[in-house]
Amino acid sequence: MTVRGGLRLSYASHGEGPAVVLLPGPTDSWRSYEPVLERLPSSIRAIAVSQRGHGDSDKPATGYEVEDFAADVISLLDTLDIRQAVLVGHSGSCPVVRRVAVDHPDRVTGLVLEASPTTLVGDAGFQEFVTAVVSGLEDPIDPGLARAFVVATSPHGIDPAVLDQFVDDLLQVPARVWRETFGALLRYDDTHLLGRIAAPTLLIWGDADELVARPMQDELVARIPGATLTIYSGVGHSPRWEDPSRFTRDVVEFVARSGPR
């Protein structure tokens, strides 16, 4: 689809009914939601999107701040003539969907935050990753590095064909998009805004997550009015890949509870 400013976004859609927009985390394409799309009932209109700079979407020279990605969500809703939607984000895309809920509360009926950080400002581990890996990236991205990154952030035992697809998608992300996107997350702190989120919010987190810790979940529950936390035992950073049936069921039940306001 072509949205604001002529930006073209690659997406997949499924079903009709209440709208759910699925935003993958940085370096992932819409394909990272395939296990969810294939399980969702046809009574839900699901739209999984490759954000700007990712997958087959356009890769403009600028526009990789959290606010830019959030503005693209509103443009997407306008283009598809969707008045309100549940927004689902994973990891580094969670600040994006939170920003939409803060700036455009009338467009959001609910938020699902999967493996969500609070802020990554001052996070030593994330800063080390950006300094050691991201800051020195050059095009073309080394396939070995891409595979190592996907393996490190994917569940054990992932289907090799799926792993290969994720690596191929990651290799489509230019080095400058890595630097701009991850650099923006190092600067972005919305913790003082979370109390303004009016939409019902579901946090999904695996207690084996080595990237996002439990205290972040507790802080989000404390700061977002009415937020609830669902914990997946023995699951890591990507619950939708490790237990897609449960994840999909939780999203479907949440959508049913969060209808248009």
Looking at the DSSP bridge assignments, the partners of residue 89 are: 23, 113
Give 123-152 pLDDT, tens digit per residue: 999 999 999 999 999 999 999 999 988 888
HSE-up (13 A, CA, CB side) for residue 74: 17
Q: Which amino acid is at 226?
A: G
Q: How far, in Å, CA of 9 to CA of 27, rounded?
A: 14
Q: How confident is the model at residue 260 (pLDDT cuts 50, 70, 90)?
A: low
Find tokens 């997406």 and name the residue: 11
pLDDT score for 152: 82
pLDDT score for 261: 52
Q: How confident is the model at residue 55 (pLDDT cuts 50, 70, 90)?
A: very high
pLDDT score for 29: 95
Instruction: Determine the longest span between alpha carbons in the chain, in angstroms.
Output: 47
- Report whether pLDDT(94) > 60: yes
Q: Are the C-beta atoms of 123 and 146 separated by less than 8 Å? A: no
- Report whether pLDDT(204) > 80: yes
Helix 160-170 with 143-152: angle, nearest 10 deg: 120
pLDDT score for 52: 98
Mean pLDDT of 213-227: 97
DSSP conformation class of 92: G
Mean pLDDT of 148-158: 81
Q: Cα 225 to chain center, whole Å?
A: 21
